[in-house]
Amino acid sequence: MDNPIDGYVATALQSYTVLAIVALLIGAAVAPYAVAVAESNENHVVVVSIDEPITAGSAQQTVQEVRALRNNDSVEAVVLDINTPGGSAAASESMYMAIKRLSDEKPVYASVGGAAASGGYYAAIPSDRIFVTPGSLVGSVGVRGAVPSSGLPSGVTTGPDKAGQMTQDEYYAAIESMRRSFVGSVMEERGEKLSVSRETVAEATVFVGGRAVNAGYADELGNTEDAIAAAADDAGVSNYQVSYRDPADPAQSLSLLASSESDANSTVTVEQSAVEDSSVERVRFLMLYGTLENERTPYNDTANGGGHDE
């Protein structure tokens, strides 16, 4: 007669084996990519996707990925695979600064599929070279603001600014400051390559494909494979492994923006962020290409610090 203890042990061992396999699979899925690359002796060219509206969450994931790649000696070059209309101004700026630090240490190339517009272009400009396809949309250098549709509810604050509202002059001044920073960064990164004036850049002009190359907003026509080959050549490596990364976590990507269509003419709705009370809307500054819902154009005179609709 079989010993029942032997049966319990066999069952337990099988269970532990299954659990161990599951644990290994989960660990492989969530282990930091930088560690996996570090254990390899091969040279790597890493393609990082930026293919969603830029939010605080998606930008944070991209910044963390870029930092890991910058500190990884196995990574010889990075290619940014960009297709985004932009998004949050602050998030776009954080991506620009992270990518600029990376490009100071390693070759960084950009490949624009559908669009690198507004904040998406901000992220692209630190690249050593920007590749575009004939149908790519590039540019839209500027800032827009989403203004609360109604005032804050009545309440008690410790000071006049504690309610979180800006005066009209403060609002225009903030947009003007961000616009100058964006335009200034484009002139710093692309100034010698641009064939258009600073004023044209500040008008948020969008160029398509070959026109973007002619204007100096991009460097040449080509796809992601062309960018990978050029980046590897710049890094001086002929034998290399290409790895693909999409750092944005869909679970954390509660989008700031929602478009009704995927084309450039879609209408964009701005998310209302709540602070303790769901009825409170916060001012958002956007580096976004597209049309905001119910948008007006009250800021139309950058030379004079902003104009007003009648």
What element of type H or E holds 242?
Answer: strand 241-245
Check residue 262 and give left, alpha or beta (phi > 0: left; psi -120 to 50: alpha): alpha
Least reliable range by pLDDT among 102-106, 149-153, 251-255? 251-255
For residues 73 and 103, is the Cβ–Cβ distance under 8 A? no
Tell me which residue of 46, 135, 144 sits closest to 83, measured CA to CA.
135
How large a percentage of the chain has pLDDT more than 70? Answer: 63
Question: Which residues are CB-contacts of 97 (< 8 A; sequence separation ≥ 6)?
Answer: none
In-domain check, residue 1: no
Looking at the structure of the chain, the number of domains it has is 1
**Which among 309, 286, 310 has a CA at the least distance from the CA of 298?**
309
In a domain, 310, yes or no: no
Please report whether residue 20 resides in a domain. no
- The CA dihedral of 156, 162, 164, 167, to the nearest 10 degrees, is 100
Per-residue pLDDT at 265? 39
Query: Which range has the worst mean pLDDT, 3-7, 18-22, 143-147, 189-193?
Result: 18-22
pLDDT at residue 14, as a whole number: 54
Match 């958002």 to its residue by tokens. Answer: 284
**Residues facing residue 269 across a β-bridge:** 258
Distance (Å) of CA 89 to CA 64, 164, 178: 18, 18, 8
Of 78-87, 146-155, 255-264, 282-291, the poorest mean pLDDT is in: 255-264
Picking from 148, 141, 48, 25, the residue whose alpha carbon sits closest to that of residue 103 is 48
From CA 210, how far away is CA 232, in angstroms rounded?
Answer: 24
3-state helix, strand, coil in the chain (%, to 5): 40, 20, 40
Task: Tokens for 134, please give them.
Answer: 């004939």
Confidence of residue 27 (pLDDT cuts 50, 70, 90): very low
Note the pLDDT tens digit of each residue in 46-62: 999 999 999 999 999 99
- Per-residue pLDDT, averaged over 171-193, amounts to 94
Could you tell me the pLDDT band of residue 235, with boundaries at 50, 70 and 90?
A: very high
In this predicted structure, the answer to whether residue 174 has a pLDDT above a threshold of 60 is yes
284-307 per-position pLDDT tens digit: 799 999 877 666 665 545 444 444
What CATH number is given to the structural domain containing 112?
Answer: 3.90.226.10
Question: What is the span of the domain harbouring residue 296?
Answer: 33-304
Do the domain assignments include residue 221?
Answer: yes
In a domain, 223, yes or no: yes
User: CB of 209 within 8 A of CB of 221?
Assistant: yes
Determine the angle formed by the axes of helices 56-70 and 89-103, rounding to 10 degrees: 10
> Is residue 16 assigned to a domain?
no
**Average pLDDT across the chain, whole number:** 77
122, part of any domain: yes
- Position with higher pLDDT, 292 vs 259: 292
What does the alpha-carbon distance between residue 21 and residue 148 come to, in Å, rounded to a whole number?
52
Contact between 126 and 106 under an 8 Å Cβ cutoff? The reply is: no
The answer to the question of residue 299 being in a domain is: yes
Tokens 């990519």 appear where?
A: 33
Q: Give the pLDDT band of residue 5 (cuts 50, 70, 90).
A: very low
